[in-house]
């Protein structure tokens, strides 16, 4: 099964979940506490999130990202939350295939500068910067 694109929900939270969760767990510390692994699994189960990735012929998940679709009045965006794995070119293929399948106009993510460099090498451009102000409790 050499596949790149949206990983079917039943496989993403079923047979592939141990691999997917191990990869995503490595990325979660770089987030800002938006999601836990339980949140991501529940989001995929409800159809509010997607797992997009590459699975090789041995059934190994080489790369995976979690995504959701964000709909604006004039655009539909495949928004990437977390990602991890290897095989940058195939990862771009997986994201592009998923975006086409889902009718998205572009792929968007927030990420650290080191990850942004990887995205730029794959052909992404910087659309805007994200400014964050933590609100005191």
Eight-state DSSP code of residue 135: P
Determine the Cα angle at 20 with ends 18 and 21, to 5°. 65
Query: 3-121 — its CATH code?
Result: 3.40.630.30
- The model's pLDDT over 33-74, given as tens digits with 9 standing for 90+, comes to 899 999 999 999 999 999 999 999 999 999 999 999 999 999
Would the pLDDT of 88 be above 80? Answer: no
pLDDT for residue 121:
86
Q: Which among 58, 54, 59, 56 is positioned nearest to 98, based on CA atoms?
A: 54
- The model's pLDDT over 15-44, given as tens digits with 9 standing for 90+, comes to 999 999 999 999 999 888 899 999 999 999
Q: What percent of the chain has pLDDT over 70?
A: 99
Distance separating alpha carbons of residues 120 and 66, to the nearest angstrom: 19
Distance separating alpha carbons of residues 113 and 41, to the nearest angstrom: 27
Each domain of the chain, given as residue ranges in start order, spans 3-121
Higher-pLDDT residue of 86 and 59 is 59
pLDDT for residue 1:
59
């Amino acid at each position: 099964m050499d596949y790149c694109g949206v990983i079917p929900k039943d496989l993403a939270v079923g047979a592939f979940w141990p691999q997917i969760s191990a990869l995503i767990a490595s990325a979660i510390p770089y987030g800002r506490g938006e999601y836990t692994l339980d949140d991501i699994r529940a989001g995929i189960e409800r159809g509010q999130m997607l797992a997009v990735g590459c699975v090789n012929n041995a059934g190994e998940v080489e790369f995976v990202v979690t995504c959701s679709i964000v709909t604006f009045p004039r655009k539909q965006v495949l928004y990437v939350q977390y990602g991890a794995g290897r095989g940058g070119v195939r990862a771009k293929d997986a994201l592009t295939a998923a975006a086409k399948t889902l009718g998205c106009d572009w792929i968007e993510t927030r990420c650290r500068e080191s990850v942004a460099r990887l995205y730029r090498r794959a052909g992404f451009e910087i659309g805007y910067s994200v400014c964050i102000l933590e609100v005191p409790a």
